[in-house]
Amino acid sequence: MNSDAIGVFDSGIGGLTVVKELKELLPNENIIYFGDTARVPYGTRSKETIIKYANQDINFLKNHKVKMIIAACGTVSSVLGANAPVKEIPFTGVLLPAVQTACGITRKGRIGVIATPATIRSGSYGRAIRTIKPDIFVAGSACPLFVPLVENGFFGKDNEVARLVAKQYLAPIIAENVDTLILGCTHYPLLEDIIADIMGEGVSLVSAGKEAAKHASAILTERELLNDGKEKGTCEFYVTDSPEMFAENAKIFLGYPIDGEVHKVDIDALQ
């Protein structure tokens, strides 16, 4: 038994969808979440800046008792690729678990990827997919408005604004006749109903956050690092901007209000 926490970080609040999946899969695990809300979004930053911010986020978590770190940020995961910046404890992003699942379920060998501009620009999903299956066709589409839409509450299945934007973003993916679509940003599961409706029944959706949580569960099980205690695990939350705003928006992603205090971290201490 290992009662140390799972450390999860994101550029903002979207990584809470990974926390939600972890709590459903591993209810006994303690979780420490770090959201760099003062510098969100990472998706429009340069590669050098994204790596700098990611290393600062990781170092913050390593100052706590964590037994694993999850980069619950599609942009960070795409920039890092298979280059894990942490060696002493298990580490995973959201990219590789999603790619492995997508390659396993595609029927026609045609996979679509929707993500932030930085993720699509990096081409990391295509490279990772072709490492597993070189002959697979990959189509990518950047969706820069999806994150602000979700964070401003525009994501219900019947929301006309979100649907209009989604139709435009998904049109080039649909035109490529994909049978599998990776949701490459942890905000996107909140738009899953709209995306699924537009893509149609013949397209399987793969949530990068959900697959990362499954992958983390498998790693902790394999390495015998699970918390086998009978008590429900706790969640600690740290942010670099307004704790009140984070707590207010968190219930959108978690499906329930945060129980407990959200701690503010001095962003200058991360430099």
CA dihedral sign of residues 8, 10, 16, 17: negative
Q: Does residue 185 carry a catalytic annotation?
A: yes
pLDDT 10s digits, 233-253? 999 999 999 999 999 999 989
Among the listed residues 73, 103, 143, 235, the single catalytic one is 73
What's the whole-model pTM score? 0.91
Cite the DSSP H helix spans in the chain.
16-25, 47-62, 74-80, 95-105, 117-122, 124-132, 146-151, 160-175, 192-199, 208-222, 243-254
Report all structural domains of the chain as residue ranges with CATH numbers, in order of start. 5-93+211-270 (3.40.50.1860), 96-209 (3.40.50.1860)
How far is residue 195 CA from its own chain's centroid?
A: 17
Q: Does residue 235 carry a catalytic annotation?
A: no
Tell me the three-class secondary structure of 210-263, residue by residue.
HHHHHHHHHHHHHCCCCCCCCCCCCEEEEECCCHHHHHHHHHHHHCCCCCCCEE
Per-residue pLDDT of the chain (271 residues; tens, 9 = 90+): 899 999 999 999 999 999 999 999 999 999 999 999 999 888 888 989 999 999 999 999 999 999 999 999 988 998 888 788 888 999 999 999 999 999 999 999 999 999 988 889 889 999 999 999 999 999 999 999 998 899 888 998 999 999 999 999 999 999 999 999 999 999 999 999 999 999 999 999 999 999 999 999 999 999 999 998 778 999 999 999 999 999 999 998 998 999 888 999 998 888 7
